[in-house]
């Protein structure tokens, strides 16, 4: 196949791709055997709005077109499994954590015949959804082992399900292909900013787990690792919360960014941990119609366009950078606490993205120099401190502290809501967020909001709602690993976002695959008759 790039069709016209391809190649439509959309994006930079396509085309004698403007050879992105090693395993391979890194590590190892055991401290995705929604409705207390942060699917399950990433890695196609196999929307294959939606992610996660089962692996819930047995510098056994011990050949730590007690345990066991930059801030909500108008123009409704998104950043002179993260068009701000007496927010969208508000994390970079200690877990302490302040400022019972942008900029408490209604549950309390976040953070946010308004008209809307606190955008630590991807404790393979090697669903899944490849290159697959 050949790739035909940069085909532009006005958004208010019929999208007849075969016609546009035939026009570009100057051939009849009958000569086209197959077309496949590779990438689809929206160009709204000018008054007229266009869809822009890159398309793979199958035709006879296609080589005659290669080299012409906008036409290249299609590339093969199919995943190639690594050559398996020959070292015999005498004990199981165990993966700790069933988020994107853990599930994709487990899936690859299962596909190669290693029958991994995945341990997840939280509940299966269906039970987890019930638990989380009951907490949001104020019907049940926070469950510390199963919430927005912990449970099957990881923190990404309650998100927008974005698959965008800044990494350039061919394994991204493997992630996309498998998600399609397990029920994700087909458009994730070609949208320039693909998203699965929290509603679809739940089915995808369930189906990945089922496939691991079918291939001889296991996924065990309510199974929290409480201790590591180390012998001669190598991990030997895991102790689980039910008192059981599991002998292990190797352990993949796909912990997630909120596994603070496990970070502490690793520190005590002598694992090399290091501070890394992270971010804190708030969730900011605007009317989705305002974002659409700003991004598409006032006549956007006639085009039947998807809910508009944005990604903004500004570097402030003498202050930290301010940027938006995990923007959720037509979404909700959700209660994402995982520790009692601490309040955390996150953003979530269903696939349809049809709720009234748009929301995004509005964050300030926190560097090691901003911390009061060089202890590896100082960032965790910093996060906990502001989460506790947010909980207290909200009045307890996981009501979130909220302030309007105008009042935040003027450092006065909000007294009443304006045109934007907060989506956070179980409830909110109007207050002054300047009493929650450190001054260098609030000073940066104030200047940042005004600067970002220059990039997206309406960002500094007086009635826009700020909800505190957003503190789990990334892990504040890195579990160091060598070229074999092992910790200084042999047999432990740190992976994914919690270990400090990823920043989102896609990059975490890719890192899980990379770790699986490192393990598979050493060990031989398990024969059917072998048991440990």
What ranges do the domains of the chain cover? Answer: 2-73, 93-274+478-520, 278-470
Lowest mean per-residue pLDDT among 18-27, 401-410, 500-509: 18-27
Rounded average pLDDT over 191-214: 97
Lowest mean per-residue pLDDT among 55-69, 83-97, 500-514: 55-69
pLDDT for 529 beyond 70: no
Do residues 423 and 466 make contact, with C-beta atoms less than 8 angstroms apart?
Answer: no
How far is residue 263 from each of residues 77, 103, 207, 300, 498, measured CA to CA in Å? 36, 20, 30, 48, 9
Rounded average pLDDT over 433-454: 97
Contacts of 170 (CB under 8 A, 6+ apart): 77, 79
- In whole angstroms, what is the distance from residue 512 CA to residue 193 CA? 22
Contacts of 406 (CB under 8 A, 6+ apart): 462, 463
Rounded average pLDDT over 149-153: 97
Q: How confident is the model at residue 530 (pLDDT cuts 50, 70, 90)?
A: low
State pLDDT tens for residues 220-250: 999 999 999 999 999 999 999 978 999 999 9
Burial of 368 (0-12, 13-18, 19+ CB in 10 A): middle
- What is the per-residue pLDDT for 330? 98
Lowest mean per-residue pLDDT among 67-76, 152-161, 494-503: 67-76
Sign (positive/negative) of CA torsion 155, 278, 422, 297? negative
Residue 307 phi/psi, 5-degree rounding, is: -55, 130
**What are 516's two structure tokens?**
């699986």
- In whole angstroms, what is the distance from residue 3 CA to residue 74 CA? 5
Sign (positive/negative) of CA torsion 395, 401, 407, 408? positive
State pLDDT tens for residues 270-316: 999 999 999 999 999 999 999 999 999 888 888 889 999 999 999 99
- In whole angstroms, what is the distance from residue 58 CA to residue 31 CA? 9
pLDDT for 91 beyond 80: yes
Do residues 353 and 307 make contact, with C-beta atoms less than 8 angstroms apart?
Answer: yes
Q: How confident is the model at residue 45 (pLDDT cuts 50, 70, 90)?
A: confident
Do residues 64 and 502 make contact, with C-beta atoms less than 8 angstroms apart?
Answer: no
* Region for 248 from its dihedrals, namely left if φ exceeds 0, alpha if ψ lies in -120 to 50, beta otherwise: beta
Kindly report the average pLDDT of the chain as a whole number.
95
Contacts of 53 (CB under 8 A, 6+ apart): 6, 7, 8, 9, 17, 20, 37, 38, 39, 40
How far is residue 336 from each of residues 131, 378, 474, measured CA to CA in Å? 12, 21, 14
Rounded average pLDDT over 493-512: 97
- What is the per-residue pLDDT for 299? 80
- In whole angstroms, what is the distance from residue 25 CA to residue 390 CA? 60
pLDDT for 429 beyond 70: yes
- What is the per-residue pLDDT for 61? 86
pLDDT for 532 beyond 70: no
Q: How confident is the model at residue 48 (pLDDT cuts 50, 70, 90)?
A: confident
**Angle at CA of residue 308, ends 304 and 314, nearest 5°:** 160
Question: Is domain 93-274+478-520 annotated with CATH 3.40.50.1370?
Answer: no
| Full-model pTM | 0.95
pLDDT for 359 beyond 90: yes
- What is the per-residue pLDDT for 531? 64
Q: How confident is the model at residue 527 (pLDDT cuts 50, 70, 90)?
A: confident
pLDDT for 318 beyond 90: no
- What is the per-residue pLDDT for 522? 97
State the CATH architecture for 2-73: 2-Layer Sandwich (3.30)
Do residues 237 and 247 make contact, with C-beta atoms less than 8 angstroms apart?
Answer: yes
Rounded average pLDDT over 479-484: 98
């Amino acid at each position: 196949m050949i790739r035909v790039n940069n085909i532009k069709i006005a958004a208010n016209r019929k999208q007849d791709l075969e016609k546009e391809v035939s026009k570009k190649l100057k051939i009849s439509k009958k000569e086209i055997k197959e077309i496949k959309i590779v990438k689809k994006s929206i160009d709204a930079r000018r008054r007229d709005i266009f869809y822009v396509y890159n398309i793979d085309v199958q035709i006879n004698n296609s080589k005659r077109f290669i080299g012409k403007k906008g036409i290249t050879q299609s590339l093969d992105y199919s995943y190639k499994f690594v050559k398996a090693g020959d070292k015999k395993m005498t004990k199981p391979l165990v993966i700790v954590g069933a988020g994107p890194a853990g599930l994709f590590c487990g899936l690859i190892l299962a596909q190669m015949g290693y029958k991994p055991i995945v341990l997840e401290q939280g509940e299966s995705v269906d039970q987890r959804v019930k638990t989380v929604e009951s907490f949001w409705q104020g019907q049940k207390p926070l469950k510390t082992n199963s919430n927005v942060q912990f449970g099957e699917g990881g923190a990404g399950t309650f998100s927008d399900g974005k698959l965008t990433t800044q990494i350039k890695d061919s394994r991204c196609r493997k992630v996309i292909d498998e998600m399609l196999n397990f029920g994700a929307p087909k458009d994730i294959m070609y949208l320039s900013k693909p998203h699965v939606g929290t509603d679809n992610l739940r089915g995808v996660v369930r189906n990945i787990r089922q496939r691991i089962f079918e291939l001889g692996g296991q996924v065990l819930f309510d199974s929290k690792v409480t201790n590591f047995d180390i012998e001669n510098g190598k991990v030997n056994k895991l102790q689980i919360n039910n008192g059981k011990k599991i002998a292990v050949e190797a352990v993949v730590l796909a912990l997630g960014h909120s596994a603070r007690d496990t970070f502490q345990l690793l520190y005590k066991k002598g694992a090399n941990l290091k501070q890394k930059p992270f971010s804190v801030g708030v969730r900011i909500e605007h009317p989705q119609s305002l974002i659409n108008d700003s991004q598409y123009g006032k006549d956007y409704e006639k085009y039947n366009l998807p809910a508009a998104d944005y990604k903004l950043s500004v570097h402030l002179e003498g202050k930290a950078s301010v940027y938006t993260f995990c923007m959720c068009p037509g979404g909700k701000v959700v209660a994402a606490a995982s520790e009692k007496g601490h309040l955390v927010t996150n953003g979530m969208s269903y696939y349809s993205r049809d709720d009234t508000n748009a929301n995004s994390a509005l964050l300030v970079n926190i560097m090691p120099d901003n911390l009061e200690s060089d202890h590896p877990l100082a960032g965790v302490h910093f996060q906990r401190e502001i989460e506790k302040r947010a909980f207290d400022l909200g009045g307890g019972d996981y009501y979130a502290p909220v302030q309007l942008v105008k009042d935040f900029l003027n450092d006065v408490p909000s007294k009443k809501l304006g045109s934007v209604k907060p989506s956070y549950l179980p409830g909110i309390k109007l207050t002054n967020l300047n009493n929650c976040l450190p001054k260098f953070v609030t000073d940066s946010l104030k200047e940042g909001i005004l600067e970002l308004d220059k990039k997206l008209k309406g960002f500094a809307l007086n009635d826009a709602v700020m909800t505190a606190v957003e503190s789990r955008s990334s892990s504040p630590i890195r579990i160091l690993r060598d070229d074999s991807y092992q910790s200084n404790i042999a047999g432990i393979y740190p992976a994914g976002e919690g270990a400090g090697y990823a920043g989102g669903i896609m990059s975490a899944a890719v890192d899980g695959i990379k770790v699986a490849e490192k393990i598979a290159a050493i060990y031989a697959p398990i024969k059917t008759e072998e048991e440990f």
